[in-house]
Amino acid sequence: MATLGKVYLIGAGPGAQDLITLRGARLLASADVVLHDALVTPEMLELCPQAEKIAVGKRCGQLSTAQQFINKQLVDNARKHAIVVRLKGGDPMLFGRADEELRALEEAGIDVEVVPGITTALAAAAATRQPLTKRGVSRSVAFFTSSTAPELDGLVTVPNTDTLVQYMGGREAIATALSLLAQGRAGTTPVVVIENVSRADQRVLRLTLADLARGLEAPNGPVLVMIGNALEMRTHQLADAMPEERRRLA
């Protein structure tokens, strides 16, 4: 009976090549095959020139590879190769469909290891120098998406925490803003919208919850939306803010 290979679910981080972990980079350099998401940058794939690369991207609103097919690809490749990498944007264990892939590999008797990555919310907080918690202001944070969120009285349900971080925000953030305003959150609540976090084309937009409820222009890349009083700019930030941080995404 042929020896089965090992699969590594690796977090690529938010996008910048040098934000992947050392372990993740080392494993990429020794991988036989790499199945990667659409959000993984070409620069990241330069870390595995020797590997066969298979794009299995899943992008909202665009053609994507069915999850069952991805699971089968992982199992099939582990039966042919010693080191198989499933490379995911951010961290595999947060909005990364890791549970389905782990189940498929475990059921097939294939050894699997998870290598964590920097999730986009933490990279966004670092990029904007904006902590998500703040003594006396914010002691709870929720990471959430709204793509499958239930509704209550016609409004999308939103976690009840001091700071909210909406992944895959974009247009869905409008529904979040309307729900928060209906729940009594102040329209002046600070909001930070970040597109293409950590990449060369990163863009930052600062606005209020009332502004967000009126909508965002269509972005060119993945968008993260951070909401809460902890995001209020410090005095020195106001002085140093770039002009684009005061405009809507264009």
**Catalytic residue IDs:** 37, 58
Taking the C-alpha atoms of residue 12 and residue 89, their distance in angstroms, rounded to an integer, is 5
Taking the C-alpha atoms of residue 215 and residue 170, their distance in angstroms, rounded to an integer, is 9
What is the signed CA dihedral for 165, 167, 171, 173, rounded to 10 degrees?
Answer: -20
